[in-house]
Structure 1
Amino acid sequence: MRAYADELREMFNRLQDEGLELHAQAKAVQATETSRDGLVSVTVGARGELVRLDLDPRIYRRPDARALADTIADTARRAAESAQRRVIEIFERVIPAEQFKAHLDGDVETVMAWLANDMGGGR
C-alpha cells in the first residue's frame, strides 16, 4: 500500500510540474485524415471536434448522399482516433498510456480494476 501511495505521489508531482505544459500541448493537437478515395479531408481537434472539412468537387460526379455521409463519418472517426493517440502520447510521460486511454474512453470498470489491483485488493 505504501509503495502505491508513493507511486501516486510521484505521479501527482510530475503532473504538477509538467501539467500546464502537457495540457497546452494536448489542447493544440489537431489530426487530419483523408478518405480512402481522396475526396474527403477531415481535421479534428484534441477532443475529436470538427475543425475543418474539405470536399473535393469530384464528389458531385457520384450523387450518393448516403455514401458521402458514410465517408465523412469514417474519415472523421479515424481523425478523432489519431488525435486521441497523440494526446495519449503527450501524457505518457506521466500517466501510463493504457490507463489514460481507459480514462478517456470512460472505461470505469478497467480504471477501477487497475486501482484495486494496485492497492493489493483485486476483486
Structure 2
Amino acid sequence: MDFDEPDVAGMQAYADELRRTFLRLQEEGDELRRQAQAIQVTEKSRDGLIAATVGPRGELVRLDIDPRIYRHPDARQLAASITDTVHRAADKARERILEVFEPLIPPDQMRAHLDGDMETVMAQLADQMAGREKPRDPA
C-alpha cells in the first residue's frame, strides 16, 4: 500500500461502509449474537453409532455412544470415529456462524477472524482502504 498517495475516495467509501456496518451492529448485533450463541449442531458418525453435539465455537456439548459399539471393541477406531464426528460437527457449526453474520460481515472476512488469520484480515483491510476491494453495502 502506498501511503504517499492515498486513494481518498476508497478510504471514504470504506469509512462509510464501516459506519453503516457499525450502525447495523448496534441495531441487529444483540439478536445476531443470541442466534450465534444458540447454535448447536449434532453430527452422527459414519456408522451411526456416535452422535456428537457441539456449540457455536465447536466445543463438545454432548456425546452419545450407542452400546452396540462394544460388539467390536477397538479403542483406536472409537477414538478416531469420535474425533472425526466432532470435527465434522464443529465445521458445520462454523458454517452456521458464517451464515448468521453474513448480512453484516462477508464470509471470507468472518472466516479470517474466526481462524485468527490476522495477515488476511490486515490484507483485506488494506485492500478496502486502498479501494482495491469494492466496499460491500450492508443495507
Q: TM-score range by the shorter chain?
A: over 0.9
Task: String of CA shifts for 1:8-33, please: whole Å, max 9, x gaps.
Answer: 11111111110000000000000000
Name the CA distance, whole Å, in 1 between partners of 2:50 and 2:114: 27
- Provide the residue aligned with 1:35 in structure 2: 45
3-state SS in 2 of match to 1:87? helix
How many matched pairs?
122
- For 1:97 and 1:53, the matched residues in 2 are separated by 29
**TM-score, normalised to structure 2's length?**
0.85
TM-score with structure 1 setting the length: 0.96
Structure 2 unmatched runs, 5+: 1-10, 133-139
Q: State the Cα distance separating 1:98 from its structure 2 match.
A: 1.0
The letter of the residue matching 1:30 is Q
Q: Is the counterpart of residue 52 in structure 1 residue 62 in structure 2? A: yes
| Correspondence for 2:28 among 12, 18, 21 | 18
Larger Cα-atom Rg: 2
Displacement over 4 Å in runs of 4+: none
User: Amino acid of the residue matched to residue 68 of structure 2?
Assistant: R
Residue 121 of structure 1 and its aligned partner are, at CA, apart by 7.8
CA RMSD, aligned part only? 1.1
> Which residue is 1:79 aligned to?
89
Q: Which AA in structure 2 matches 1:31?
A: V
How far apart, in 2, do the equivalents of 1:23 and 1:81 lie?
19
